[in-house]
Amino acid sequence: VTQVFKEVKLGSPQGAPRRVAVGASLRDGDSIKTGVTGRSELTFADQTIARLGAKTNVSFSNGTRTVDLGEGAMLFQIPKGAGRLKIETAAIAVVSTGATAIIERHGQFYVKVLVLEGTVRCYLTNRLGESLLLQPGQILIAKPDVTALPEPADFDIAREMKTCLLVGEFQLLLS
């Protein structure tokens, strides 16, 4: 854990949730939950960054290389040459080995994936063979229980970079 803003709690299979502090390490099975005004940044050994927005709940598995986004928003930046990161949320999973993107899930309303740089593969967790490769400036918006991936749309990367709290309220990203 490299940054903590306001209320952020760490849960583990061994005990009750507790406030997390900068320098805490995550293990397989751990979870992090941010409060209404809480945010946090995690930096992995390979310099992959995950920034968690307010009211976000994530859990980690496979040696922390698989993230289950139960609710909220997460920006991730995976340096080129770093390991693969997989993010699962509802019926959609996102995989990348070198990208900067934002993924959001808000209850049963929608899942949104925005790619800022690099490429991200989105696929359905319950349907083999269906996937979509998103490029920089593309956004995918779908219902959490989607059964077919919709076509991506375009968005303004510069505007997103200026208005997104996961960019503006943290230290500068590496790229």
With cut-offs at 50, 70 and 90, classify the pLDDT of residue 66: confident
Q: Give the pLDDT confidence score for residue 63 in this predicted structure.
A: 67
Which amino acid is residue 104, in one-letter code?
Answer: E
Q: Looking at 20-163, list the stretches that DSSP marks H as alpha helix, in order from N- to C-terminal side.
A: 157-163
The pTM for the full model equals 0.89
pLDDT category at 166 given cuts 50, 70, 90 is confident
Bridge partners for 7 per DSSP: none
Q: What whole-number distance in Å separates Cα of residue 170 and Cα of residue 20?
A: 17
**Of 163, 170, 159, nearest in space to 52 by CA:** 170
DSSP state of 23: T
Using CA atoms, how far apart are residues 108 and 175, in angstroms rounded to an integer? 33
Cα separation, 99 vs 85, whole angstroms: 10
How would you classify the pairing of strands 3-5 and 39-43?
antiparallel
- Chain centroid to Cα 141, Å, comes to 15
Helix, strand or coil, per DSSP, at residue 158: helix
Give mean pLDDT, residues 109-132. Answer: 88
- Given a contact cutoff of 8 angstroms between Cβ atoms, the answer to whether 57 and 31 are in contact is yes
Q: Are 96 and 103 in contact (CB under 8 A)?
A: no
